[in-house]
Amino acid sequence: MKKILVTGGSGFLGSHLCDRLISRGDDVLCVDNFFTGSKQNVKHLLTHPNFELMRHDVTFPLYVEVNQIFNLACPASPVHYQHDPVQTTKTSVHGAINMLGLAKRVGARILQASTSEVYGDPEVHPQPESYWGKVNPIGIRSCYDEGKRCAETLFFDYHRQHNLDIKVVRIFNTYGPRMHPNDGRVVSNFIVQALQGRDITIYGDGSQTRSFCYVDDLIEAFLKMMETEHGFTGPVNIGNPCEFSMLQLAELVLKHTQSKSKLIFNPLPSDDPKQRKPDISLAQQKLDWIPKVSLEDGLKETISYFKKILPTI
């Protein structure tokens, strides 16, 4: 049995990770300040003897004894990370410093949940890990993009300077049950609007593309990455390379919700990437991992979840 710390553990990704860790017999310490996470996401785990929930903000040091750390703490949608951009940067940067310091003290292996946003609005397509990105350092998304880039810098400097055992994954668009209904992300936006019979809002002309990875596939990659050999640090792209335009996504949501919602078009937000698709050849080679859940199957599960929770919010 490992003692594993999951920061941001009551959030969308964190709660699914806690589920998997508990199901395989690990002892899990879930840490969250509940800015975007919800106790509801881990409510079913609260009575489990191997699960502990702690309210804590990673911008402050944490003193616990653990074997592994999954550092997921940070608001990940524009609505949430732009609400308090200074705090968003602090969460990425101070949070990384505090969790790296903890890992160094207790000799733990630590995984950083980074993001495809480190590539910015890419000039290379699809994006390999070797691409350095095209990021605006002073835009409205910079608090998140540059915060995550700086966190990666800190991870690699701790690795070089202190021989810390680090793992870095770059997450591309992920969706599934427990997404926050008001997070402003395209999948949750479209589903909520369709289920409520409101117009579906498309930004730009709908031709911009994203690659959507179902949450179960992503968590599997997390676990595989954490178990790779010492010395393999990443970064590793984790995402689904099947590319869809916003119009294609909207049509699939309309089909599976059987909604009569109409499509409306609004101006594209500042610094919004026009293309996003991972090159996952490194994940295939090092993790023996490829995503298995199709967008249609994943959307059915996600729509089913939103049908249950929408009457309660």
Residue 224 contacts residue 287 (beta carbons within 8 Å): yes
Six-digit token string for 147: 């915060």
**Element (H or E) spanning 221, and its range?**
helix 215-226
Give the whole-angstrom CA distance, residue 40 versus residue 279: 34
DSSP 245-301: EHHHHHHHHHHHHT--PPEEEEPPPTT--S---B--HHHHHHH-------HHHHHHH
Let me know if 144 is a catalytic residue. yes
119, 144, 158, 175: which one is catalytic? Answer: 144
- Residue 123 C-alpha from the chain's centroid: 23
First to last CA, the chain: 38
Contact, 175 vs 298, CB < 8 A?
yes
Q: Give the separation between CA 65 and CA 35, rounded to whole angstroms.
A: 25
Neighbours of 81 (CB within 10 A): 28
Rounded Cα–Cα distance for residues 47 and 257 (Å): 35
Picking from 293, 72, 71, 36, the residue whose alpha carbon sits closest to that of residue 175 is 293
The CA R_g of the chain, rounded to the nearest whole Å, is: 19
Beta-bridged to residue 170, according to DSSP, are 114, 237
Q: Which residues are catalytic?
A: 144
